[in-house]
Amino acid sequence: MLTLLSVAGLGLLLAYAIILQRCLTAWNALTEWERPAGYDPRTFISVLIPARNEAPVIGQLLDSLRRQSYPEELFEVIVIDDHSSDDTAAFVEQHPMPNLRLLYLAAHLDPAEKVLSYKKKALALGVEHASGTLIVTTDADCVAPPDWLASHAAFHEMTGASFIAAPVLFHREQNLLQRFQSLDFIGMMAVTGAGIQGRFLYMSNGANLAFTKALFQEIGGYMGNEQFASGDDIFLIQKAAARRPGKVAFLKSREVTIHSLPVPDWKSFVNQRLRWGTKNASYKDWRITAVLGLVFLLCWFIPGMFLTAPLFGFYGLGLALALFAGKGLADYLFLNTAAAFFDRSRLLKDFWLLEGMHVLYIAAIGLLSLLIRQYEWKGRRVR
């Protein structure tokens, strides 16, 4: 029995280490994008912002868009209000940005239609009304760097990419939970970039995404995934990669990185991660499902061996410690490189504590996402 457990545990660890090494190699092979000096933009961009009850935060995003280095006459900003019950719409209407428009999702929905994903409906409405050939999406609680749009446009024009994923990071951490989220997101961004670079995993984040309107229409937008409340980003990139893999790219650049605030407490964190986790089994790309399953099993194996230490004695405890140390070493090598690129190496100060949190978080949230099919998001009970 102990021999079988050892082989299974070490096999999971070896597979995990091989995947991370492949990701690290692909991440290092991904060239950092630098916008050429004297770049002369010519692409008209539509920035889409779905918003629901975002009055406290949307102002900082709109202000950051107003400060873009991209010519004002070459982009528009469209906020799609999703049934806000606060002053979101009024705030947008009063904002002085001249190239800002507001759409009301409620005015474009059939009252008889059963809507399962309001965010996808809002984004699809924005695309329908967009004048730009390049659509760039973000979230209302984000802040965009000054060269955000210029970098997206230059990358699109010079590489021919028609679907562009780009980094999203957290900042202004106040506690251990928020530092954990930031380090976890750095890892996710590096895996995202590596997967797209190596064409073996296609993921993205809707807070920093760009695609041509023509490609969106060609692949049928969000059609086929409307039953999921979230996943507007990852389902879309998988459809794009299935149709035009050579046109999907990751924009590896600090000057295009979007920043947002991590969630403040455990309840918000669990709700957020459940929202992400409940759609995992629905990915059409088996490779993502396989990787997620592998990580889930490894993260259950480690605490499982700790809990069975009274049964297996020091052997079980030693195996648990060896697996935890092995996973931690693989994670550290990967995260050290990614964090250094984003100038966030200081997050590794509490690495082993955060690593322990990561193992328990994956095990717990992974299990809950299999058992719980409904969760709260933006004041709605969705699935």
Residue-wise pLDDT for 143-160, tens only, equals 999 999 999 999 999 999
Per-residue pLDDT at 289:
87
How far from the centroid of its chain's Cα atoms is residue 298's Cα? 22
Distance CA(120)–CA(332), nearest Å, equals 36
Three-state SS at 252? coil
Average pLDDT of the segment spanning 35-50? 94
In the chain, where the domains are located = 2-26+285-382, 35-167+208-262
Average pLDDT of the segment spanning 92-118? 90
CA angle 20, 165, 297 (to 5 degrees): 30
Per-residue pLDDT at 237:
95
Query: How many Cβ atoms from other residues are within 10 Å of residue 292's Cβ?
Result: 17
Whether 273 contacts 365, CB under 8 Å: yes
Strands (E), the chain: 45-51, 75-81, 100-104, 134-137, 142-143, 163-165, 168-170, 209-212, 248-250, 258-260, 375-377, 380-382
The DSSP-derived string for 121-132 is HHHHHHHHH---
Per-residue pLDDT at 278:
67
Per-residue pLDDT at 367:
87
**Would the pLDDT of 168 be above 80?**
yes
pLDDT tens, position by position, 363-375: 999 888 877 766 5
Percentage helix, strand, coil for the chain under 3-state DSSP, each rounded to 5:
55, 10, 30
Whether 303 contacts 359, CB under 8 Å: yes
For 35-167+208-262, CATH number out of 3.30.70.890, 2.40.240.20, 3.90.550.10, 3.40.50.300 equals 3.90.550.10
Per-residue pLDDT at 338:
98
Nearest residue to 145 (alpha-carbon basis) of 229, 84, 192, 207: 207
Per-residue pLDDT at 224:
77
